[in-house]
Amino acid sequence: MLCSIVSFSRPSASGKSEGLPKLIEQTRYETLIDLFKSLDVELLKSANEDKIIKYLAGKNAEIVKYLVTKYPQFGPLEISDMKDPAVTWFGLNYAMFEANGFKPLSIKVNEMQAREIPTWLTCTLSVLGSAVGITEAISGLGTFSFGSVWAVVKTVVKKYALGWLGTAVALVEIAHECF
């Protein structure tokens, strides 16, 4: 069963779509990076998996709300489990692509090109994408549709078993080191 928060439209009694539900019409963040900057780092450092799961599931709902509200052109976003750490990684990837104007992300050895990459992006890529190839795979898609990006992120997170505690450690490192 899909959460109503990820629906783009809801049918009326006549069966026609009424547009975005009231729940997702507004978001309080200017960018996804703002959402990640607002994380409770102390809670994430606590290693209390139950609290981390509950907290990040709420943040995942905010990530989905933000994306569906701000980027409806990327298609429907059908995520049924806000307690899936892949949703957090999905949001982190979109945050990087959003900050880069939805251009492909890549860190090349070429010194000249490396100077053009903002420090925060280099740092985030080193924590998040480069180790498991998420950003390279997404950049290679040629599209930033929710469905295609979700498929890549879900596969990589499942393959590398990036659970909640690993996600929390990455978020703390990104919040303290990168932003």
Residue 117: what pLDDT?
A: 56
Measure the CA–CA gap between 22 and 130, rounded to whole angstroms: 38
pLDDT over 80 at 14, yes or no: no
Average pLDDT taken over every residue of the chain:
73
Residue 5: what pLDDT?
A: 36
Residue 20: what pLDDT?
A: 38
Residue 19: what pLDDT?
A: 40
pLDDT over 50 at 38, yes or no: yes
Residue 96: what pLDDT?
A: 81
pLDDT over 90 at 65, yes or no: yes
Per-residue pLDDT tens for 109-137? 344 344 555 676 677 767 765 545 666 67
Beta carbons of 60 and 88 less than 8 angstroms apart: yes
Q: What is the mean pLDDT of residues 133-152?
A: 75
Please name the residues in contact with 2: beta carbons below 8 A apart, sequence gap of 6 or more.
Answer: 78, 79, 80
Closest CA to 107 of 119, 98, 95: 119
Number of domains within the chain: 1
Residue 64 — very low, low, confident or very high, per pLDDT cuts 50/70/90? very high
Which residue bears the tokens 């505690």? 165
Domain boundaries, position 68: 4-178
Residue 12: what pLDDT?
A: 38
